[in-house]
Amino acid sequence: MREAGSLRWRLLRNLVALLTLLMFASGLSAYWNGREAADTAYDRTLLASARTIAANLTQRDGSLSVDVPYVALDTFAYDSAGRIYYQVNGIDRRLISGYENLPEPPADTPRTDDYPALARFYNGRYQGQNVRVVSLLKAVSEPNMIGMAEIRVAETEEARVRMARALMADTLLRLGMLGAGAVLLVWITVSGALRPLERLRSAVEARQPDDLQPLPRVDAQRELEPLVEAIDHFTERLRQQFERQSQFIADAAHELRTPLAALEARMELGLRGDDPEQWRATLQDSVEGTDRLTHLANQLLSLARVEHGARAIAEGGVAWLRLDELAREQGLAMAALAHARGIALALEAEVQVQIRGEATLLHELLSNLLDNALAHTPAGGNVILRVLAPGILEVEDDGPGIPIDARERVFERFYRRSSQGTGLGLAIVGEICRAHRARISLHDGAQGGLRVRVTFP
């Protein structure tokens, strides 16, 4: 299993990353909202100062003059971090009072609709500082003077920036406290949720190697119950596998013990005599017994290879194979044995059939099916090997067949209906079919023998 790290730290990392992103976005939003609120508040004050100055605009001796009251500039300038500047221009655009060179409103600056005044708000630079400026037009209607005077009031942006930063800092502080509380809550919750897993781990570590009983029931969340059930199910399958292996070892020992004991007794009996013919008969019987033991050992090794191949198939070790080609190869390999026994071996494979499987196991399946058919077919009989679409393999013989009530047991290990054979041939075939998820069935042959059909998925 790939190392995935701690679940607790992974959740905390993701939560902290999400909270950091939210805090960053909320901080930016709070700053710009604060600037918007500060602009709204301070723009109103700027306009009030400009109106106060405009109210004190008078005409004297055919010219405009203004008496700027202290309150017009003291409204907020000396109570804030910024500075305030003003400028009064006459109807001829000449400076009447105030600071020179205050930035003019850009040509595309619209008149504000927030206040009932001929005012425009805009940003500019003055004396190396960013300033917010209001330009208020004041109508002058005198007998000898008609036009628009302009009053500009500018303020540096320190106060607005400070207000926006204060709102942002307050927002980040609250979000930070909320985030710290959320992280602590997640830590406590996850730690509590993982305690049942820790108890399960301790229970598993404390068990003996041969203890395959279900896990002890612990107080766990519903989400953990499927995991516990899956572990119990796996343990049960493992226990059954161990039992099958133990039973197989016991059966194999029993099957080997009997012919070995008979072989040993026969050889001891032969050694007691002095007749060369008796010795020869003893050696002949020993050779036949050794052949049977060799065949049994090979069958046991084949069964072990099947179990290993089944694991390889479960892990994806399969490939596309031509079933008709496999049948043709195995038929040619068994042709000499069939001829020696006087049996006609025929192959019927007129179509190409592809299946997914493991080549070694499929050769073993074909070999056991043909060997079983040849062993039970009398001389002069026929054995037919068929490959049908979409993925059907059949082996039919002219032997005595198998009664219906015994057809299920022939796939059990070491089950024999006669003294011949090892009782492992069809058992191996059944294991290979299970490994390939194929279905095997026994039917009556056309001539009264047995027809074995294997259907691959």
For 102-140, give the DSSP string: PPPPPTTPPPPSSSSSSEEEEEEEETTEEEEEEEEEEEE
Residue 226, CB half-sphere, CA atoms under 13 Å: how many? 1
Task: Return the C-alpha torsion angle 421, 424, 430, 431, nearest 10.
Answer: -160
382-388, strands of its sheet edge to edge? 344-348, 382-388, 392-397, 450-455, 439-444
**Exposed, middle or buried, 406 (CB in 10 Å: 0-12/13-18/19+)?**
exposed
Higher pLDDT, 247 or 78: 247
Q: What is the pLDDT of residue 345?
A: 93
Helix axes 359-376, 425-435, angle to 10 degrees: 150
Residue 132 has pLDDT above 80, yes or no: yes
Q: What is the pLDDT of residue 417?
A: 62
Residue 398 has pLDDT above 80, yes or no: yes
| pLDDT-based confidence at residue 1 (cuts at 50, 70, 90) | very low
Q: Which segment of 17-21, 50-54, 103-107, 424-428 scores lowest on mean pLDDT?
A: 424-428
Rounded Cα distance between 49 and 56, Å, is 11
Higher pLDDT, 155 or 216: 155
Who's near 256: CB < 8 A, 6+ residues apart? 293, 296, 297
Residue 211 has pLDDT above 90, yes or no: no
Rounded Cα distance between 129 and 141, Å, is 36
CA–CA distances in Å: residue 44 to residues 77, 242, 415: 13, 88, 103
**Residue entry with tokens 């905390």:** 12
Residue 231 has pLDDT above 70, yes or no: yes
Who's near 238: CB < 8 A, 6+ residues apart? 212
**Residue entry with tokens 């399958």:** 237
With CA atoms as reference, report the closest residue to 67 among 79, 77, 78, 59. Answer: 59
Per-residue pLDDT tens for 328-386? 999 999 999 999 999 999 999 878 999 888 888 888 889 889 988 898 899 999 999 99
Biggest alpha carbon distance in the chain? 166
Q: What is the pLDDT of residue 76?
A: 46
Q: What is the pLDDT of residue 120?
A: 92
Q: What is the pLDDT of residue 5?
A: 59
Residue 419 has pLDDT above 60, yes or no: no
Q: What percent of the chain has a predicted confidence (pLDDT) above 70?
A: 81
Who's near 179: CB < 8 A, 6+ residues apart? 16, 19, 23
Amino acid at 383: V
Rg of the chain over CA atoms, in angstroms? 50
Rounded Cα distance between 197 and 360, Å, is 43
Tell me the mean pLDDT in the region 284-309: 69
Domain 319-455: homologous superfamily in CATH: Histidine kinase-like ATPase, C-terminal domain (3.30.565.10)
Fold type of domain 226-314: Helix Hairpins (1.10.287)
| pLDDT-based confidence at residue 78 (cuts at 50, 70, 90) | very low
pTM of the predicted model over 0.75: no
Cis peptide before 390 (omega within 30 of 0): yes
Rounded Cα distance between 156 and 81, Å, is 9
Q: What is the pLDDT of residue 253?
A: 67
Rounded Cα distance between 382 and 380, Å, is 7
Q: What is the pLDDT of residue 382?
A: 92
Amino acid at 265: A
Mean of the per-residue pLDDT values for the chain? 79
Rounded Cα distance between 192 and 237, Å, is 32
What letters, b where the CB count within 10 A reaches 16 and e where it falls short, cover 281-319?
Answer: ebeebeeebeebbeebeebbebbeebeebbeebeeeebe
Residue 30 has pLDDT above 70, yes or no: yes
34 contacts 168 by C-beta, under 8 angstroms: yes
Comparing 226-314 with 319-455, is the CATH topology the same? Answer: no
Q: Where are the domains of the chain?
A: 7-166, 226-314, 319-455
Rounded Cα distance between 437 and 318, Å, is 12
